[in-house]
A and B are shown apart, each in its own frame.
Chain A
Amino acid sequence: MNSAIRRLAVAAIVLMLALMANSTYLQAFKANDINGRNDNRRVRDAQFSIDRGPILIGNIPIAESKESNDQYKFLRTYTAGPEYAPVTGYYSFLYGRLGIELNQNSQLNGSDPSLAFRRVVDVITNRDQQGAAVSLTLNAKAQMAAYRGLAGKKGAAVAIDPKTGKILALVSRPSYDPNELASHDLNKVGASWKKFTEDPNKPMSNRAARELFPPGSTFKLVTTAAALSSGRYNPDTKVRSPAQLPLPQTTTPLMNENKLNCGGSDNATLTVALRNSCNTAFGSVGLELGADALREQAEKFGFGERQLPELGAVASQFPADPNPPQTAQSAIGQFDVQATPLQMAMVAAGIANKGDVMKPYLVESVRTADLKTVSETKPESLHQAVTPEVASQLTQMMVDVVENGTGKPGRIGGVQVAGKTGTAQTAKDRPPFAWFTAFAPAEDPQVAVAVMIEDANVPRDDIAGGKLAAPIAKSVMEAVLGR
């Protein structure tokens, strides 16, 4: 009998070992998976009760957790909510996270592996887990200038430091107040969410990075870059520029905005064509270069790939397989060409940085609560879009646009500005999109900017990129240059 009892004793141990092994699998190996589940209320509640790190510009917090005496220990507070909402996003109990709050979540809540040592110290010294501070590249003055400039309008502005790719300003209007979503009064949060999501003006759309618009004539910079890079053109090359350009396979000709030829000539130089933003000239250049060359050039500026992972920006597009008339339309930024204001700012920034497009980024550095640097973003080159020679030719042409052409409202006294206007028609019954993209100073660029106005609430004939968007771009550049 004893041998049977001994066997049962072994069997009992095996049963207990199975329990221990299963619990080990669950609590040691599978725990991360389970903790990461969306329906895990414990984790969500707990995250809402930890001292989440601030989001900073310089040393000034634009989002921080303040102690609160309600069901959670901390209330996420946004000091200039709507102004920075497209960047910070929100941190909501009911609706999760967005923007930097989403992308930098593990740093902000302190759970990131890079903060593991910090956490151990916190445990030993019996302190509550503290999140790290995330410093952004934004320039508060530029952000303010863009936000004020777009007041009362529907649109977006993005400013980039062309030499590094740092995002200096990123604004989308109309905006929303993330404080309303971070509130601990969950009924109010629900009502605000409904208000924001049902508003026809879509205040929660990030027009700067997550929405696509026809770039219109600002895309002519890409067409010009492709032309100059092909070796078959220089700034003085004469191109066909009649008032109407007949297109193959269609009876509808391409027409200039003013229904005249280009600067008084049917064969204007590329420089003159850009100065006056002549559709027929760039349509014919586009036809000669072909869609593939245009697409390749566009991709070198960053089209076709998602930029700025911090905000999950969408990829700008050049149509996949346009026929010749569609190619001509695409060359002037119409048809199916779609771009974010961020992308058009990158085009200007690439030209400004001698053709080297820097990878745009928003997170300057991550620091622990006691100001030790955890990580710092190093500038990275994305693509060499054009050669330095072509970049310098383009710069000269863009300076000419601002000094003598459609971009005059973008001029800054004492500083040479290089820019390009755009006015994209989409449908007869909706106002066109007004664009302006520029950089300054032309000889040593400190800032590249793109401004897009979707709906300015002004009479239709008043709309032109130069008149509407350029002054805003100008004030953003002035803010960066300290003027």
Chain B
Amino acid sequence: MSIASTSVIQIIPRTRRGVELMLLIIAIAVSVAAYVNIGLTVQNKVPASTGYYAAGIGLLALIAHMALRYRAPYADPVILPCAVLLNGLGVAMIHRVDLGLKAAAEAAGTKARGPAAPQQITWTAVGIILFLVVILVVRDHRRLQAFTYTAGLVGLVLLVLPLVPGLGADINGAKIWIRLAGMSFQPGEFAKLCLVIFFAGYLVVKRDVLTLAGHRFLGLDLPRARDLGPILIAWGVSLGVLIFEKDLGSSLLFFGLFLFLLYVATERAGWLIIGGLLFAGGAFVAAQIFSHVQKRVSDWLDPFHEVGGQVSTALMGQAWGGLLGRGLGQGRPEIAPLRFYGQSDFIISSFGEELGLTGLIAIILVYTLIIERGLRTALGCRDIFGKLLATGLAMSFALQVFVIVGGVTGLIPLTGLTTPFMALGGTALIANWAIIALVLRISDQARRPQTPAAPVSDETIAMAVQKQ
């Protein structure tokens, strides 16, 4: 299939920056309200740090907004406010768990760990700086195609970095961290970005070959055997991640992204089937061999089989939250054995407990908005590389949210992925802001009028809006 036959959605050229600003103000207001609410319920006063928090989140969001206004005026207006809202709520919940941990430490007469929320605000600032860098430096996403193989190499290096002796750190059995200058990083978060660029660039070149049909089987066009190379390599690498870094989540994420992009590039469902079988087979064998995978599976099948397990404690928190939640500051998200996992891996359970099913569904819907707006960007994008890139970035959120939220709520076995924008953790937050910047850069191009906009009548606008 060539570009010519790809339908391009007609988009009315409007910048919508005003809409974005309104949504941003709402997102900031909701986050600050959550922050104040937590202070009022836990400490009976408006927290002294409210100013710092509000200024931090607000200012950073406005800076990002201004950057878009001047450097990407046609960018999607919904994505940035959604990301700001998730980031803001995340910091509020991290602050809430900080308070809970402090109270618990005081009750036990031990010393509390320093608060994590200010740290997360600092990381947000770094994230926004990277956001600005991407928006200002990458003036056209198509230029990234030139770095296809560089990105692939960098991605692979980042992926194996935690395995380097003396650099990698084993946290909770997964070797996905490195320690450098006293700080911990998760290089996999940036590997994700690099690999999506690589997959997209690679598939732009190879898609015609991979589209060639081999055998027809059960109504599916299966690819030629000799074209199976790339998928087998991707499979091997993701299995390597699973085996050597003991990280099922990242393994699933990388392989899944490759498969999705392969499917979009070739439109051959056969690739999905082959890839799905390969992954299922690998995961099944891994579950037979590795005890850490077995433990995750048995915890999933019967979360309550051990008293005081992490998953069971998190599920009890959600059940305790019920439909409307205990209210911000009135749950027990810091309860042992969750403790500070209530602000990282299990932050979504903390929201489920305090904001209830209602709040949890709202959060999932905000994620859905980001994902679908990202895919919408892919639909509107005029070049194949951009389409694949936007699809990959949007689907990386979809997979990540599904794997981690599904894991902590007991839908699938728990694997360690970060909850985008919300969970405590610098690397992930910064990488996600870079990804959002890239999606917005592509959407700017997708929504920008190709030629200077001809005057359009109201009727055409109405028709085009309906078509959307």
Q: Taking beta carbons and an 8 Å cutoff, which residues of A are in contact with B?
A: 1-6, 8-9, 12-13, 15-16, 18-20, 22-24, 26-28, 30-35, 37, 39-43, 45-46, 71
Contact = CB atoms under 8 A, between A and B. Distances in A.
29 contacts: A1-B264, A1-B267, A2-B6, A4-B264, A5-B378, A5-B391, A6-B379, A8-B264, A9-B376, A12-B372, A15-B399, A15-B402, A18-B402, A18-B406, A19-B409, A20-B364, A23-B318, A23-B357, A23-B360, A23-B364, A24-B357, A27-B321, A27-B360, A33-B319, A34-B315, A35-B316, A39-B307, A42-B332, A43-B320
Contact of A20 (B318, B361, B394, B399): B361
Closest 8 CB pairs of A and B: A34-B319, A31-B319, A27-B357, A12-B398, A22-B411, A15-B402, A9-B375, A4-B264
Nearest to B325: A27
Secondary structure at the A interface, as helix, strand, loop or mixed, is helix
A20 B371 CA distance: 15
Interface string B259-288: 010011101000000000000000000000
Interface centre among A28, A42, A71, by most chain B C-beta atoms within 10 angstroms, is A42
Contact of B323 (A5, A20, A27, A43): A27
Contacts of A27: 318-319, 321-323, 352, 356-357, 360
Interface centre among B1, B319, B391, by most chain A C-beta atoms within 10 angstroms, is B319
Nearest to B384: A1
A39 B332 CA distance: 15
A22 B409 contact: yes
B7 A2 contact: yes
Contacts of B367: 16
Contacts of A26: 315, 318-319, 409-410
Interface residues of B, number: 54
Contact of B372 (A13, A39, A43): A13
A8 B261 CA distance: 10
Given A1-B1, A5-B391, A12-B395, A19 B401 contact: yes
Contacts of A71: 107
Interface in B375-393: 375-376, 378-379, 384, 387, 391
Contacts of A41: 316, 332, 335
Nearest to B320: A42
B368 interface: yes
Interface of B: 1, 6-7, 9, 107, 260, 263-265, 267, 304, 307-308, 315-323, 331-332, 335, 352, 356-357, 360-361, 364-365, 367-368, 371-372, 375-376, 378-379, 384, 387, 391, 394-395, 398-399, 401-402, 405-406, 409-411
Contacts, number: 129
A12 B318 CA distance: 24
Contact of B316 (A1, A4, A12, A34): A34
B190 to A, nearest CB: 23
Contact of B364 (A16, A32, A46): A16
Contacts of A33: 319
Contacts of A8: 260, 263-264, 375, 391, 395
B372 A9 contact: yes
A15 B398 contact: yes
B323 to A, nearest CB: 6
A260 to B, nearest CB: 65
Contacts of B320: 31, 34-35, 40, 42-43, 46
A5 B379 contact: yes
Contact of B263 (A4, A16, A19): A4
Contacts of A15: 398-399, 401-402
